[in-house]
A and B are shown apart, each in its own frame.
Chain A
């Protein structure tokens, strides 16, 4: 469904006006995601997880290596807070969000009430997103992303915030989706969620693939350096 072959990525970041620094984000990463797979990605902040999801979604392209997606496979990236236009209401943002995933305007409009209901935002759904708390943004982001049908769902931390009640609801909705052909790549720091949802996991550290295997094995390895510092 999705394959990364020897993918490296770096970019020039501006530190100050005349000083350009080269940031290495990913270094020769190869992995494969089969249809119906749920792959978890663990790693510290800044390890390259979000960049990897953006590469998988085709938003940016790698400096080296190849990314192969099954022809015609649709792909959506759910991430926190990003992607909202602050002056628009939750409803309008959800509408644009759905249309950006390729849903027709009529279908997008028809799905808005279901999204509103899932988010449990009530009247806030009609208020500008700039008035939202981060938890409310997460609800909106998750609901508008989940209710549109795509072949590959890339989830970046969306399930890690929000209150416990909504997390459980989101997790349950995810598990329902995972039963079928849904392919998911899932970035999270919540180890319980990773173990509950994923059938495979990888650990990314400093842009490199450190471990690959069952979520239990990978998480155990990932936690090791913290327990026993080098």
Chain B
């Protein structure tokens, strides 16, 4: 299979799955933006209405973090089960196993494009004017995507190897939701702690980068972004190599699971 065949197949699988998914729900494609918005609503009720958060423009602050976080967490959890969930195809054709997680991530990417457009619309409505600085969003999104791919490829492999890993992955997602500053601002902590949170947790750094660009009007730390991006790229390439090397082992695990 050539690279272009691989890419076309991945994209076709993603599009067909989106189409099938939309036809299953009454609200169809509306769910693409409705679901992330409902997540935001839940957090808004808890933190703004019940806990009386005093942060200025909390909804916008929350959306910048939450919408990117949901992209990561949903893609990771769905991709983790994608190979195992395609038992029929895995048992019938010898195909690169990375195709399944990558097609799932591609599906998430299409949905996320709509979600980002919605975010921009809300920002404009709230009076945040777009500037050249918004160009920084592209590398931040790219690194975000690479981080999703890197985590998902290994997650999908581990779930095929030992199914129990999927429990661990959903736990890890919850842990990340609390530690990545989705509904709190790492910059409100004392400076030493802010430094540690942003250094140790690449997701916290990315969520903060979105907010720096969109809300504070400040460019993110380019060196930090490049380091996170390079590590994610290396891990993603390693994940592709592992899935390729263990392709038949994975097939056996999936068929006999």
Contacts and interface: CB of A to CB of B under 8 A. Distances in A.
A82 B91 contact: yes
Contacts of A82: 87-88, 91-92
Interface stretch (A34-42, A100-108, A211-219): A100-108
Interface string B1-30: 100010011001100110111011000000
A77 interface: yes
Interface stretch (B63-71, B118-126, B179-187, B249-257): B249-257
B248 interface: yes
Contacts of A85: 17, 20, 86, 88-89
B88 A60 contact: no
Given A59-B251, A61-B248, A88-B17, A99 B8 contact: yes
A59 B255 CA distance: 10
B16 A95 contact: yes
B254 to A, nearest CB: 10
A102 B1 CA distance: 7
B7 to A, nearest CB: 11
Secondary structure class of chain B's binding surface, majority of residues: helix
A64 interface: no
B252 to A, nearest CB: 5
A96 B13 contact: yes
Contacts of A61: 248
A83 B88 contact: yes
Interface in A87-103: 87-89, 92, 95-96, 99-102
A118 interface: no
A83 B93 contact: yes
Interface in B142-180: none
Contacts of B248: 58-61
A54 interface: yes
Contact of B16 (A11, A75, A79, A96): A96
A128 interface: yes
A65 to B, nearest CB: 14
A40 B147 CA distance: 49
B94 interface: yes
Interface in B51-105: 86-95
A95 B8 CA distance: 12
A100 B16 contact: no
Given A60-B248, A60-B252, A102 B16 contact: no
Interface string A43-56: 00000000000100
B88 A105 contact: no
A59 B88 contact: no
Contact of B91 (A59, A75, A96): A59
A68 B211 CA distance: 57
Contacts of A76: 93
Contacts of A222: none
A85 B90 CA distance: 12
A60 B5 contact: no
Given A77-B93, A83-B92, A99-B9, A60 B255 contact: yes
Contacts of B19: 92
A105 B1 CA distance: 13
A104 B252 contact: no
A87 B21 contact: yes
Contacts of A79: 91-92
12 contacts: A58-B94, A59-B251, A87-B21, A88-B17, A89-B20, A92-B20, A95-B16, A99-B8, A99-B9, A99-B12, A102-B1, A102-B5
Nearest first, the 6 closest Cβ-Cβ pairs linking A and B are A83-B92, A87-B20, A82-B88, A61-B248, A83-B88, A58-B94
Interface of A: 11-13, 54, 57-61, 75-77, 79, 81-85, 87-89, 92, 95-96, 99-102, 104-105, 128
Given A13-B256, A60-B252, A75-B94, 19 more contacts: A11-B252, A12-B256, A54-B91, A58-B248, A59-B90, A59-B93, A59-B248, A59-B251, A60-B255, A82-B87, A85-B89, A87-B20, A88-B20, A92-B19, A95-B16, A96-B12, A99-B5, A102-B1, A128-B20
